Structure 1
Amino acid sequence: MASWSVWSGRCGVGFYATACLMVPSLGHAEQEPANSRKVLHAEAHSPRPVPVRTVPAHSESMTVSAARRAFHFAAAQHEADSSTRLTPELLVKRGVVNLRDLEKVAPNLSIQSVNGTGTMNFYLRGMGMRDFTQNNVPSVMPYLDDVAFPIATFMSGMMFDLAGVEVTPGPVGFTHGLADTGGEVNLHTADPTRTWHGGASEDIASYARSRTNFFVSGPLAHNLFFRLAGQMNEGGAWQYSPSHGRYQGAANEGALRAKLQWLPDEKTDIMVTGHWMDDESETTLVRPVANFQPNEPYPILPYKQANWSMAPDFAKLIGRPANLVPSEHNMMWGATLRMSRDLGFARLTSISSYNSGRIAEYTDQDGTTWHAGDSYRNINGDLFSQEVQLKSRGGDAPLQWVVGMYYNRTNMNQSWFYDQSDTNKYLTGTSYLQKQQTFSQYAHVSYRLPGRVTLFAGINHESDDRHIQNVATSYYYPDGTTSVARFAPQGALGNQVTFETGAQWQALSNLMFYFKISKGFKPGGFTANTTQVQDQLAPFKPETDLGYEVGFKSDIIPNRFRLNGALFYYDYHDQQYLSVVALPVGILAHYVNIPKSYTYGVEFNAELHPLDHVYIMQNFGYMRGEYQVFQALNKTATTAQHAATGIWSGIYSDYAGADAGMPKLTLNGSADYRLPVWGKYEWETGVDWMYRSQQQLAPRSYGAYCLPPYFQLGAHTTFRPANDRWSVTVYASNLLNRQYFESGAITTTTYFWIPGPPRFVGGRFGINF
């Protein structure tokens, strides 16, 4: 078993990625007291300097020779949460190479593309927001190395050289960062190492897809360390356009990340991180499934075929070539300064971060050669954040606490252009400037009582202030004339106190129960699509939810059978929802607040090591949700009334008791067989699977307004030496070549689905030192 511990602990790319999970982090952290929150941080992230500096210089070699643990995150088994924690090895093995892929490895999680682009919307336990303009706070906040990204698109391309990922459901913001209603997705990147390590991997697959990764890390001086990592993704175009005679959807993306760590003394740690990403990838073409112009039926194409159009007038308007294909033209960069100081009784940490992005996306939202849903958007934005935190030293002390403040500021210039000339006979463009700042203060405390009972409580106060201004919509007519409508600025202020309280009971050394109540908060915002009247800019209200969760964590048979579970219920108020409203000019898209709704469900995570060479993982998620108070516009009745009276006046339907959407059942798991070969090598083979049930895209919807259920199966086999100097892998995703759809939405004349990729068969070779 020693060879397995070398493979699991040593830094390297090989088969398992350009991520590096350092041995001192795992080996040392899992020996700390089980109730230490500091231990969880050290174990779940890449190695932090505090544990590294406190272990002897020879500890790394000692840990490498230690016995292999069947399951990771032993310390987290004593934490009162239902977070899904993922190692970099698992991410690579399951083909998790972008944010959307995370739904393959976490229960009740949906991450869906906006119109086939790299922009994603997050939904966790049924809570989420369909924000195609990306100018509002996501219901599930993405983080990169403890920095919040309210503009989620700015995190694109960052899933490489990882140390781990955490998916945390429910109200958050009591121990770090910003408050939110749905939860968090946290990416932790690998830190510099104390000794020299490096590696590279090349992944070649079907449709000429190529993924290249590398990293190099080591000391520059006795107290100065660095890490440089990068990736490049190319090819993979599997959709064919008959009208253009070419394949569509090829990736063309590159990214770099550099870290410099300075330890001026035994108590101080300073880390500077910089990253850059450029994305010129083609987007996935949509598949039209409902046509609102029945006199012109849509062409029916095979699954892997799709079309698009680019009118010369539209290309001239947006300043792009007439042969432009649906694609991204994005560049993001940023820098983070993290400083911490051991004060003896606590650790003081400061995290300062600046991120900037320039995004340009062209999509064809009707999936035909018509000019009925072509869209081009530009986002120029920047994010600045500052967090200051004071945290108790952890260890075995019964009292643990953390207090902190988080400030976030965003500036965004955005413009949208639409070609609907086949329906409206003109082109449109809407532009605006949005500014926002958030100030959050939080505190959390836990105390361990006799009888192995721990009580905990947290509080967060958050104030969010945002303004939208310089809003203008231009209409470009075929005769060359232009008209411009300008609108007054709007503001929205959110101010809320949220809380968390609960208890956990360590009934046995390998069995823990917990219960908690928590309240979440998400600021309001603006509808910022094609603005036609001032009323469209009226801000929607903040949303809140009150969550109840009871769960358990158990290692029923240590290193053989682990089972964790949670039961949850969320009472939702003023849920933010993309709907439509009737205004004097017609029926227009607008975010509304659903006064009252609820979601409940259950989750289980099982890990089994029944035989010496067999490893099985299974996630199970089931949830239901209903709208309790919700009056929504009836478009059919409202349109009929307008035809009879000539007046646009809303007629509303009662959706009380309607299903709140989202897949009710999510399953994902894997089974692996690992066998030592000739005493110097290891062979591993396995399969993985994912199932998602039907998803309603609108209340009481059916047919084209529901995404069909789907099942995915993958497989892999890997051969590597015990010292992990190299590895060779053959794999397949969507092994059964199923046809399925990942998300759906609506444009002026079309309801469309986003198809998922077909079967990919590939090979990966990696070397490391």
Structure 2
Amino acid sequence: MARLGQGWILAGASLVPLAPALAQEAAADPLALDTIVVTAQRRAEAIQDVPIAITAFDQRAIERLNGRDIRDLAGLIPNLIISEVAIGPSLSQISIRGVNSQDPEKSFDPAVGVFVDGVYLGTSAFNLLDTFDLERLEVLRGPQGTLFGRNTTGGAIQAFRTRPTGELGLRARMIIGTADRTDVNAVLNLPAIRDMLSVKIAGYLQQDDGLWENPAGGATGAKDRWGLSGTVMLRAGPGELRVTWDHFRDESELTPYFPRGISTIDPLPYRLTGTPPVPATVTPAFGPDLLCLRGTPALDCDNPADRRSRVTDPHFQNSRLNALTVNADLELSERFALETVFGWRHSTEDVYIDFDGTQRTAFNVFRTQDFEQMSAEARIVSSLSGPVQFVAGVFWFNSQYSLRQAIKLDLALAGVPAPLGVLYANGSGDEDFHRAGTTALYAQGDWNITPTLTLTLGGRASWDKKQISTLFYGAALPPTAPYSILDGIIAGRPLTSSGSARADWFEFTPRAALNWKPADGILLYASYSRGYNAGGFSARAGTVRDVTTPFDPEFVNAYEVGAKADLLAGRLRVNGALFWNDYKDKQEEAIEPAPPPSFTSTTVRNVASARLRGFELEANALLADWFRLDGSLGYLDARYRSFPTFAGSGQWVSVRPQPAGTLIAADFSPLALRRAPKWTGSLSPTFFRSLGRADLSVNGLIRHTSAQFSEILNSQRGRIPPVWLYDAAATVSFGGPDNNRYRVIAFGRNLSNARPIASFTNAPVDFSTITAGRIWGLEFTFDY
């Protein structure tokens, strides 16, 4: 691996073709890299002056990805993993430096905070952001517990949309490509009224026929989503007010599931530390899948060579989102500015899922959710003449959601001695009602001890509270009655149990950093920060007791040293960081005993601790006026320190059967943390050529992610092998004084057609999602 590391040309803070992030002004040297300005510390600063591991992209750089959403950042930024979750609208799992939240249920808080125009998104739904109208994108790695609050133990992603220009203008893009892909984006700016009031209208449409072949005629993952937004900006004297309204609809098919059941056993690498009550030989393993044993092996068993979907039951969604964002900035004086952010978001989701991934009706679920959040933040930013600067603010957040679901499960998969397709649980399920609230006070100050040495100190005090109510229902119809999840929630389901609970927590998260500038263009820093992911309730648990028993916050103590350098008269930029994170009270799935008929229940408890350490390097070089080279490299060594737990009957195989509900003490610490590949990296050469009245650029991109596990027990069926992705694009720009009015791009992604798994789940049936294959397209952009 040392030779591999030496072979990378390390890439800088902008890692995509042609454009570095946030170019603010032309450099005197035509071969010097542009100045990059970010707001990672809640004030505008050059990225090379910020003692944080951060990567930034500007509007042109984002558009060069030729993608639909921020998943295209994966592989470009060291130690960043982004994957889609196929049970909701634009739903993602984001992992930074091995810190992530695996469960997308809305009672869990994401470990990587996503912010849009300063508004924190309280759920993973609708966070795969469309990229066309973004002005810039910042990815902050490591806990951001002072200025960005709870639930940023892994880091934060900040997206900022373009502001109204106040001048008449239209920017539009159309992409056509694989699977009849048709994407249309447009941004219209209207002339300002009295140089005070400006208006911008934006919209997008994304459609295709699906990237997964389905010979059974069912779901192929076809996309059908659109959105509209409007922004009004008022500038008067020292103040600016921006109000943005958004409406999004998603009626896409879900990414299809593939059956992963086996007729043998799948050994698992954890250790059993207890003794079963019945003398037997017990092996840590997933046992044979009942659907595979009782079904048709060719269709119902794992076949890694077959990448075709056979989903035939309903597998789609109907989701909506409305959002209001208000940003207000006011210069109180030459020394102080007031910045405020208000956000309101309301989403509804009707989701129909065919989990078994086969042509059978074996395990189908209907989920309907209603989520609403409201947040407000106000902060004072100083511009003092002395050696001290500070940011101080207050933050408030409140959310509520309801979940109702119904299942259709073949009872033969639950151990009932009946053939497949005869008896079903028709409409059983649960209802959950959840509220969460946070209030926080924070401050961070910078003290210039000398002109080259700066000390940063900060802290955040947070008060969290959550409450949940749950109801469990039995089957609404006899097991032989006809029922489809398209029927939704059937009236008259018998209530079997219910309960409610509430809990609250207080946490203080400090930060300290010391940075030194020994010479122009050089920054060295060392920092400590503490982040935490809030406690809460596990709405996915299988009993009232487990749903209403709270888990506590988890914590990451992060230590980092780094260097940032602009070298060779500004033609080479190299940034690097070493980090060591102590993960304590880690929230993980835990098996607990439960009454019949389930006997065990999976919930979330603070049962583990871990150590995560590694390094990151980024650099970019403008080697000539016709050649630029960008790349990145990340290394992560993530290991559990401790993980004592119980193994449930679905997680071991006994030669002599054990009584139903048997739990065996186990040590899960030998397991690898999920979504924590050891190596990530990218390399991107770009060639430029002037054609007189047009400009040509040709770009290649290589992305590598080493092996990783997608689920907690490290099943080999959930192991994602090392992946190399190869992309290429050719761009012709012409028109206007700078040849930038029109652009035509031919691009290809995943040119080697790599198709590893993207996820794996062991449930009543075992299933996976598969990565999409080769994609090509043509992009046409107009900017006037």
TM-score bucket of the superposed structures, by smaller chain: 0.7 to 0.9
1:61-80 aligned within 5 A: 75-80=46-51
Aligned partners of 1:699, 1:119: CA distance in 2, in Å? 20
1:713 to 711, 718, 726: 726
Change (3 A) 1:357 1:43: same
How far residue 441 of structure 1 moved from its aligned partner, in angstroms, is 1.0
Corresponding residue for residue 670 of structure 1: 684
User: Per the alignment, in what secondary structure is the counterpart of residue 659 of structure 1?
Assistant: coil
Structure 2 residue 777 is matched with structure 1 residue 762 = yes
How far residue 242 of structure 1 moved from its aligned partner, in angstroms, is 2.0
Counterpart of 1:126 in structure 2: which amino acid?
G
How far residue 459 of structure 1 moved from its aligned partner, in angstroms, is 0.1
Aligned partners of 2:711, 2:344: CA distance in 1, in Å? 37
Structure 2 residue 418 is matched with structure 1 residue 426 = no
How far residue 716 of structure 1 moved from its aligned partner, in angstroms, is 0.5
Structure 2 residue 101 is matched with structure 1 residue 101 = no
Corresponding residue for residue 249 of structure 1: 221
2:516 to 474, 482, 505: 505
Structure 2 residue 103 is matched with structure 1 residue 114 = no
Corresponding residue for residue 397 of structure 2: 408
How far residue 376 of structure 1 moved from its aligned partner, in angstroms, is 2.1
Change (3 A) 1:578 1:647: closer
Corresponding residue for residue 370 of structure 1: 360
Kindly indicate whether structure 1 or structure 2 has the higher relative contact order, using CA contacts under 8 Å at least 6 residues apart: 2
Structure 2 residue 613 is matched with structure 1 residue 624 = no
Corresponding residue for residue 180 of structure 2: 208
Change (3 A) 1:637 1:474: closer
Stretch deviating more after TM superposition (130-139 or 141-150): 130-139
Corresponding residue for residue 162 of structure 2: 190
How far residue 607 of structure 1 moved from its aligned partner, in angstroms, is 0.5
Q: 1:473, 1:530 within 8 Å by CA — same for their partners in 2?
A: no
User: Per the alignment, in what secondary structure is the counterpart of residue 663 of structure 1?
Assistant: coil
Counterpart of 1:403 in structure 2: which amino acid?
A
Change (3 A) 1:682 1:567: same
User: Per the alignment, in what secondary structure is the counterpart of residue 24 of structure 2?
Assistant: helix
User: Per the alignment, in what secondary structure is the counterpart of residue 105 of structure 2?
Assistant: coil
Corresponding residue for residue 193 of structure 2: 220
Structure 2 residue 311 is matched with structure 1 residue 308 = yes
How far residue 430 of structure 1 moved from its aligned partner, in angstroms, is 1.2
Q: TM-score, normalised to structure 1's length?
A: 0.86
Change (3 A) 1:285 1:197: same
How far residue 445 of structure 1 moved from its aligned partner, in angstroms, is 0.2
Aligned partners of 2:109, 2:680: CA distance in 1, in Å? 25
Corresponding residue for residue 151 of structure 1: 123
How far residue 734 of structure 1 moved from its aligned partner, in angstroms, is 0.9
Q: 2:258, 2:768 within 8 Å by CA — same for their partners in 1?
A: yes
Q: How many corresponding residue pairs?
A: 700
Corresponding residue for residue 489 of structure 1: 500
Corresponding residue for residue 277 of structure 2: none
Structure 2 residue 675 is matched with structure 1 residue 703 = no
User: Per the alignment, in what secondary structure is the counterpart of residue 62 of structure 2?
Assistant: helix
How far residue 84 of structure 1 moved from its aligned partner, in angstroms, is 1.2
Counterpart of 1:214 in structure 2: which amino acid?
A
Corresponding residue for residue 318 of structure 1: none
How far residue 561 of structure 1 moved from its aligned partner, in angstroms, is 1.4
Structure 2 residue 753 is matched with structure 1 residue 737 = yes
Change (3 A) 1:202 1:715: same
Q: 2:210, 2:223 within 8 Å by CA — same for their partners in 1?
A: yes
1:144-543 aligned within 5 A: 144-176=116-148, 178=150, 180-218=152-190, 219-244=192-217, 248-265=220-237, 267-291=238-262, 292-293=289-290, 294-296=292-294, 297=297, 298-299=300-301, 300=303, 303-310=306-313, 325-344=314-333, 345-393=335-383, 398-422=387-411, 423-424=413-414, 425-427=424-426, 428-476=428-476, 477-478=478-479, 482-529=493-540, 531-543=542-554
Q: 1:16, 1:92 within 8 Å by CA — same for their partners in 2?
A: no
Aligned partners of 2:216, 2:506: CA distance in 1, in Å? 53
Change (3 A) 1:29 1:418: farther
Unmatched tracts of structure 2, length 5 or more: 1-16, 30-34, 263-288, 415-423, 482-491
Aligned partners of 1:187, 1:637: CA distance in 2, in Å? 42
How far residue 159 of structure 1 moved from its aligned partner, in angstroms, is 3.2
Structure 2 residue 556 is matched with structure 1 residue 545 = yes
Counterpart of 2:231 in structure 1: which amino acid?
K
Counterpart of 2:550 in structure 1: which amino acid?
P
**1:382-429 Cα distance to aligned partner (Å, 9 max, x none):** 1100101111137x7532101001100001011222221252431322
Counterpart of 2:113 in structure 1: which amino acid?
M
Q: 2:497, 2:544 within 8 Å by CA — same for their partners in 1?
A: no
User: Per the alignment, in what secondary structure is the counterpart of residue 153 of structure 1?
Assistant: coil
How far residue 600 of structure 1 moved from its aligned partner, in angstroms, is 0.6
Q: 2:541, 2:547 within 8 Å by CA — same for their partners in 1?
A: no
How far residue 530 of structure 1 moved from its aligned partner, in angstroms, is 6.1
How far residue 717 of structure 1 moved from its aligned partner, in angstroms, is 0.4
Change (3 A) 1:694 1:498: same
Change (3 A) 1:116 1:105: farther
Corresponding residue for residue 653 of structure 1: 666
Aligned residues: CA RMSD: 2.9
How far residue 89 of structure 1 moved from its aligned partner, in angstroms, is 1.7
Change (3 A) 1:479 1:703: closer
Unmatched tracts of structure 1, length 5 or more: 1-14, 32-36, 49-73, 311-324
How far residue 483 of structure 1 moved from its aligned partner, in angstroms, is 3.0
Corresponding residue for residue 601 of structure 1: 614
Counterpart of 2:356 in structure 1: which amino acid?
D
Counterpart of 2:425 in structure 1: which amino acid?
Y
How far residue 574 of structure 1 moved from its aligned partner, in angstroms, is 1.1
Q: 1:433, 1:471 within 8 Å by CA — same for their partners in 2?
A: no
Aligned partners of 2:209, 2:129: CA distance in 1, in Å? 16
Q: 2:546, 2:603 within 8 Å by CA — same for their partners in 1?
A: no
Counterpart of 2:75 in structure 1: which amino acid?
K
Aligned partners of 1:653, 1:494: CA distance in 2, in Å? 30
1:615 to 628, 631, 638: 628
How far residue 105 of structure 1 moved from its aligned partner, in angstroms, is 2.3
How far residue 523 of structure 1 moved from its aligned partner, in angstroms, is 0.9
Aligned partners of 2:36, 2:782: CA distance in 1, in Å? 33
How far residue 161 of structure 1 moved from its aligned partner, in angstroms, is 0.3
Counterpart of 1:463 in structure 2: which amino acid?
W
Counterpart of 1:740 in structure 2: which amino acid?
P
